[in-house]
Amino acid sequence: MTIKTKKEVIIEQLQKIKGIGDFQIISQTSEKALKKSRVTKVPTPSNLEEVTKLSFITVSMGNNYTEEVNKQRKDEGMSSNFKAKATYCTPLNKIDGKILGSLKSFLSKIGVNLTDKSSEVIYKHNDYDQFYIRVYPSLASHYNNVKIIFDKDGNVIENWNEVQKEYFKKPSSGSGRQGTEKAILVNNYKLESIKYLADKDGEQVINELDKDILKDLKLR
């Protein structure tokens, strides 16, 4: 009997994903507030010093970033010569040298073989033992983003838009380096932040949430 860590189980489950299409994800992330209010300049209330976000989103997965940007450039009458710059993480099948060898060995021990498709979904930090799921919100057939925000005491923040503007950093906008009118949005989620993932056929790949939270997120 082989004992697998949570990370190993999730990576193994992600190999079941086939093809490009819509996927439903629920992520749990946290965000720290600014030290003081933008409006009053007084210290941020203690219950807002750090908030927890549960986000239910519909995204596309398995896409290739460079290919998708060049498709958009072509649709907008531009040359299809875009090349993505290297970032802090790399798809599994493009990790060089000893790291790739040790990673393949690690995955093979839990019965996982790298495929071209899985390499477009799972990324690894270039310097740390950190894995990510790569998603494309703007390429989903329909956009969906439902959030529940909790303060430090576990209470739901109903007026999040106002609270965010006053106490938190401004959300980053879409990439402007693609040269297109419509940006191809891409996000990386740490594996451990994914609490729910269902594939395009509705089959659950990951589910760590109770039924009430799942229902509340989907119906809001």
The model's pTM: 0.76
**Token match 């838009």: residue?**
161
Pairing of strands 187-190, 131-135: antiparallel
Average pLDDT over residues 141-150: 85
Q: What is the pLDDT of residues 149-160, one digit of tens each?
A: 999 999 999 999
Higher pLDDT, 178 or 159: 159
pLDDT band at 31 (very low <50, low <70, confident <90, very high): very high
Amino acid at 56: F
**Do 134 and 90 touch, CB atoms closer than 8 A?**
no
